[in-house]
């Protein structure tokens, strides 16, 4: 395998040379640097000690966790033997000390302990029952096939960090796949990304609940065609019940107006969901990430700007996309800032949203948003 060296955060990483990233013998996507940056910041804020990078590929994620966060014991795993060998080389490149290799496992003991394994992630996670403070699932496509094992490998007060790149499924382009994998009815149109993220979280909540685990969303977002969620688990049946109460359904009519209901079963057949209707962030957590992103060595401006957007975003379910509303009502498109200002002057809360550059989140009723757009014609 032909390799080249890249730098990301504090890590030096050997990655395969390839024309297209999906053809490479080991997967590496430079576009996911923002995903890894935010995860590094999250681990710094959480201070988790034992961390699992269950689907590690080149090792970049776990190696960054070891170099840039207080984590003391980091496991890096991949089922692909080429990936395993590359992770071993990348660990050697970034850490001094002797790396002991025994078959499908390599261990480096020093200031930090690094454990590299070449196993099926499900097998590994089932063997390491309630062992990790932080489990990261960053797969190709859907994380669903790893979810049960991850919920067993993580401690009952631990944190799950989950990526889903099957946005076509969660956003309703492949409805049957969404029904199969997430047992949920997706929605098409301007709300599909937020609904997709909330369907993903809703499914995670239902899976956690069967272990009597509740879920608090520390941060969940959509970006570059993937979803990412950091979930703080809470121990006990009561907290699981509380999380379940935050599930519900979304309805949207032709005018673009939406409503949602908290319910276990939907009251109407036109429902989309079940999906999570609770918060998408813990405000203090996001403010801390944002603050650290400015201080972090080599922290990128892109990451900082994105965290600022997330920090300032009003955390209410769903949004109005000015382009979609204008189109649905035969109006001219107007500047988002203008609409936000009018709502603001009327005493409503209104902010931009990371889900779409042309959309706003507000506590104003739909009619007021439409009226604001009309005023600007
Ligand atoms: N987290 C990496 C990217 C991972 S890509 C990063 O941030 O760069 C997904 C990886 O999962 C691939 O390397 C693939 O080999 C691995 N994988 C797929 N199925 C697996 C399984 N059942 N067990 C362990 N690893 C698996």
Average pLDDT across the chain, whole number: 97
Q: Tell me how far the alpha carbon of residue 261 lies from the centroid of ligand 1, in angstroms.
A: 37
- What is the pLDDT averaged over residues 277-298? 92
Q: For ligand 1, atom 2, name the residue with the nearest CA.
A: 56
CB 76 less than 6 A from any atom of ligand 1: no
pLDDT for residue 75 is more than 90: yes
CB 52 less than 6 A from any atom of ligand 1: no
> What is the layout of strands, in order, in the sheet containing 258-262?
258-262, 247-252, 272-276
* pLDDT at 298 (0 to 100): 64
Q: Of 250, 121, 159, 144, which Cα lies nearest the Cα of 200? A: 144
Q: Could you report the per-residue pLDDT of 189-217, keeping only the tens digit for each? A: 999 999 999 999 999 999 999 999 999 99
Confidence at 224, pLDDT banded by 50, 70, 90: very high
For 3, phi then psi, to 5°, come to -120, 155
CB 57 less than 6 A from any atom of ligand 1: yes
**According to the 3-state scheme, what is the secondary structure of 70-108?**
CCCEEEEECCCHHHHHHHHHHHHHHCCCCEEEECCEEEE
CB 89 less than 6 A from any atom of ligand 1: no
Which contacts of 147-151 are long-range, i.e. CB under 8 A and separated by 24 or more positions?
147/203, 147/204, 147/207, 148/207, 149/121, 149/122, 149/125, 150/54, 150/125, 151/207, 151/208, 151/211, 151/213
* pLDDT at 297 (0 to 100): 67
Confidence at 281, pLDDT banded by 50, 70, 90: very high
Q: Indicate if the alpha-carbon torsion angle 260, 263, 269, 275 is positive or negative.
A: positive
Query: Which ligand 1 atom lies nearest to the CA of residue 121?
Result: 23
- What is the pLDDT averaged over residues 104-127? 97
* pLDDT at 300 (0 to 100): 86
Q: Tell me how far the alpha carbon of residue 26 lies from the centroid of ligand 1, in angstroms.
A: 9
Q: Tell me how far the alpha carbon of residue 53 lies from the centroid of ligand 1, in angstroms.
A: 9
Q: Which of 1, 22, 27, 65 to mutate to test the pocket of ligand 1 (most atoms within 8 A of CB)?
A: 27
Q: For ligand 1, atom 9, name the residue with the nearest CA.
A: 139
- What is the pLDDT averaged over residues 359-376? 97
- Predicted TM-score (pTM) of this structure: 0.98
Q: Indicate if the alpha-carbon torsion angle 285, 291, 296, 299 is positive or negative.
A: positive
Q: Tell me how far the alpha carbon of residue 328 lies from the centroid of ligand 1, in angstroms.
A: 42
Which domains are present in the chain?
3-285 (3.40.50.150), 319-377 (3.30.56.70)
Q: Tell me how far the alpha carbon of residue 208 lies from the centroid of ligand 1, in angstroms.
A: 22
């Amino acid at each position: 395998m032909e390799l080249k060296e890249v730098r990301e955060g504090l890590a030096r990483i050997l990655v395969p040379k390839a024309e297209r990233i999906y053809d490479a013998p080991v997967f590496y996507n430079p576009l996911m640097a923002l995903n890894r940056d935010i995860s590094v910041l999250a681990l710094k804020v959480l201070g988790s000690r034992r961390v699992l990078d269950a689907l590690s590929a080149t090792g970049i994620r776990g190696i960054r966790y070891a170099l840039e966060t207080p984590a003391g014991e980091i496991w890096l795993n991949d089922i692909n033997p080429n990936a395993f060998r590359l992770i071993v080389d990348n660990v050697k490149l970034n850490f001094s000390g002797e790396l002991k290799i025994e078959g499908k496992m390599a261990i480096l003991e020093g200031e930090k302990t690094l454990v590299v394994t070449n196993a099926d992630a499900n097998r590994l996670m089932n063997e390491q029952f309630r062992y990790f403070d932080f489990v990261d699932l960053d797969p190709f496509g859907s994380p669903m096939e790893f979810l049960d094992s991850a919920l067993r490998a993580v401690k009952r007060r631990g944190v799950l960090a989950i990526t889903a790149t099957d946005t076509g499924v969660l956003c309703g382009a492949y409805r049957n796949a969404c029904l199969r994998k997430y047992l949920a009815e997706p929605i098409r149109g301007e709300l599909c990304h937020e609904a997709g993220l909330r369907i993903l979280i809703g499914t995670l909540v239902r899976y956690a609940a069967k272990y009597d685990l509740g879920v608090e969303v520390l941060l969940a977002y959509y970006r570059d065609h993937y979803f990412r969620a950091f979930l703080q688990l809470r121990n006990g049946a009561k907290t699981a019940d509380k999380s379940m109460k935050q599930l519900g359904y979304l309805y949207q009519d032709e005018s673009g107006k939406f409503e949602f209901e908290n319910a276990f079963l939907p009251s109407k057949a036109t429902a989309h969901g079940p999906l999570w209707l609770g918060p998408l962030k813990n405000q203090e957590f996001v403010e801390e990430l944002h603050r650290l992103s400015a201080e972090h060595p080599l922290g990128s401006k892109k990451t900082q700007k994105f965290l600022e957007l997330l920090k300032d975003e009003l955390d209410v379910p769903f949004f109005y996309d000015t382009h979609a509303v204008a189109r649905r009502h035969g109006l001219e498109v107007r500047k988002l800032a203008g609409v936000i200002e009018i709502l603001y002057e009327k005493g409503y809360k209104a902010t931009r949203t990371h889900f779409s550059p042309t959309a706003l989140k507000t506590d104003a009723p739909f009619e007021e948003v439409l009226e604001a757009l009309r005023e600007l014609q």
